[in-house]
Amino acid sequence: MTAEEVTSLCRKLAEYTEEPGHITRTFLSGPMHDVHRELTARMERLGMTVTVDAAGNLRGFYPPRNRAGPRLLIGSHLDTVPRAGAFDGILGVIMGLALVSALDGKRLPFGIEVIGFSEEEGVRFGFPFIGSRALAGSLDASCLERRDANGVSVADSIRSFGLDPARIPEAALPKDVRAYLEFHIEQGPELESRGFPLAVVEQIVGQSRLAFCFTGKAGHAGTTPMRLRQDALAAAAEWIGFVEDHALSVPGLVATVGHIEVEPNAGNVIAGAVRASLDVRHAYDAVRHQAVRHLVEGAQGIAKARRLQAEWEERLNQPAVAMNPGLVNKLSASVKATGFPVFTMPSGAGHDAMILAERVPSAMLFLRSPGGLSHHPNEDVLQADVAAALKAGLHFLENWDGNLD
């Protein structure tokens, strides 16, 4: 597959969406069947054995030269945020296929399993990494009971996709896995600003996700005097400003309220309740934890001053994780050998590699994001950068013996 074929396949698969005119594909929604069907056909043509595990991950295996050889995983996710671009996640899966296709039938000392993870974004259940957690063996019963906005549980969504949640333990990493590689767009402006096509990731920052609810009292917008109101939306708005101010005051901290739901959400009704998300990230977990405490206290203080209730629930507390130094060195050597500058950087975005790194040496290669854009319909990647990543990836495959020093 050429770089041009890689990007056009990403764009073609982006047409499988829950929302016509936009790219929205959440965990095990209908269009995921279409993506699986398309990728399965391509994997089989490359001589791979294809399965879908009980967490909905698509897995294609290209065997090693000798049956007992170890296994390299190459993957990323197939789900998207709402109204996404065409490359976040799926590019890493198609890069895996392109690398297998570049081998042109040649077997290596290790097998290659290309994985399209079912869920990384956390959109449908407010909880990310369902696919990679199944491999890491950390998708427990409480995760399966989480419900989406329509009251459907993770377990039920797996059944509706034709899979059996009782078989999730079988999705766990096979014992012969030696390493995990993930190719991904950078999703930020760093590489473009420096004029580099590629970066080797050295660390993925930690992230917290919380759900808040401000409960006040609904009332008539025309008759309720301002001083007697318990306006949940005004409280949430004050708190959102507080979140932004705090993030601006702490170096390296990012904090986002990206989702709110207002009840009853009518122009002439004072809001009775507001549910809001909070996403907090920092390279140092201690700074992130301190920020979360401060932002929770802020919500409590604002609610109290306005005679409202504030409740919150922690949905995710994912520690920062380092990529494997041996694998980072080998990937960097491949970038260098193919004639590109070696640049290392942390990832502010979460990735499946974050979860896999708990169980297996992991590394990531970033491709420059034009305009620094991601989680946006205009997200893009340059074909020359895809060609560069393919070259570096192929060098890695042809020079790795399946072991790490």
Residue 60 interaction partner, one of ligand GLV, Mn ion, none, beta carbon < 5-8 Å per kind: none
Nearer to ligand GLV, 158 or 205 (CB): 205
Shortest separation between residue 358's beta carbon and ligand GLV, angstroms: 17
Q: How far apart are CA 181 and CA 179, in angstroms?
A: 7
Shortest separation between residue 5's beta carbon and ligand GLV, angstroms: 25
Which residues 75-94 are close enough to bind Mn ion by CB under 5 A?
88-89
Lookup: tokens for 190: 């760093």
Shortest separation between residue 193's beta carbon and Mn ion, angstroms: 21
Nearest alpha carbon to residue 201 among 10, 403, 350:
350
Q: How far apart are CA 169 and CA 166, in angstroms?
A: 8
Shortest separation between residue 119's beta carbon and Mn ion, angstroms: 11
Shortest separation between residue 7's beta carbon and Mn ion, angstroms: 16
Task: Spell out the residues 6+ positions from residue 175 whose beta carbon is closer than 8 angstroms to its own.
Answer: none
Yes or no: say if 364 and 181 are a contact pair by the CB < 8 Å rule.
yes
**Residue 121 found at the interface with ligand GLV (CB under 6 A):** yes
Nearer to ligand GLV, 121 or 190 (CB): 121
**Residue 379 found at the interface with ligand GLV (CB under 6 A):** no
Shortest separation between residue 384's beta carbon and ligand GLV, angstroms: 24
**Residue 352 found at the interface with ligand GLV (CB under 6 A):** no
Task: Spell out the residues 6+ positions from residue 152 whose beta carbon is closer than 8 angstroms to its own.
Answer: 160
**Residue 186 found at the interface with Mn ion (CB under 5 A):** no
Which residues 35-64 are close enough to bind Mn ion by CB under 5 A?
none
Residue 79 interaction partner, one of ligand GLV, Mn ion, none, beta carbon < 5-8 Å per kind: none
Shortest separation between residue 128's beta carbon and ligand GLV, angstroms: 7
Shortest separation between residue 316's beta carbon and ligand GLV, angstroms: 10
Among 96, 350, 361, 393, binds ligand GLV (CB under 6 A): 350
Among 200, 257, 335, 349, binds ligand GLV (CB under 6 A): 349
**Residue 92 found at the interface with ligand GLV (CB under 6 A):** no
* Residue in the shown chain whose Cβ atom is closest to ligand GLV: 350
Nearer to ligand GLV, 26 or 338 (CB): 26
**Residue 126 found at the interface with ligand GLV (CB under 6 A):** no
Q: How far apart are CA 15 and CA 80, in angstroms?
A: 12
How crowded is residue 385: how many other Cβ atoms within 10 Å of its Cβ? 23
**Residue 56 found at the interface with ligand GLV (CB under 6 A):** no
Which residues 189-248 are close enough to bind ligand GLV by CB under 6 A?
none
Residue 350 interaction partner, one of Mn ion, ligand GLV, none, beta carbon < 5-8 Å per kind: ligand GLV
Cis peptide before 264, with omega less than 30 degrees from 0? yes
Lookup: tokens for 290: 């301190």
Site for Mn ion, rule CB under 5 A: 88-89
Site for ligand GLV, rule CB under 6 A: 121, 349-350
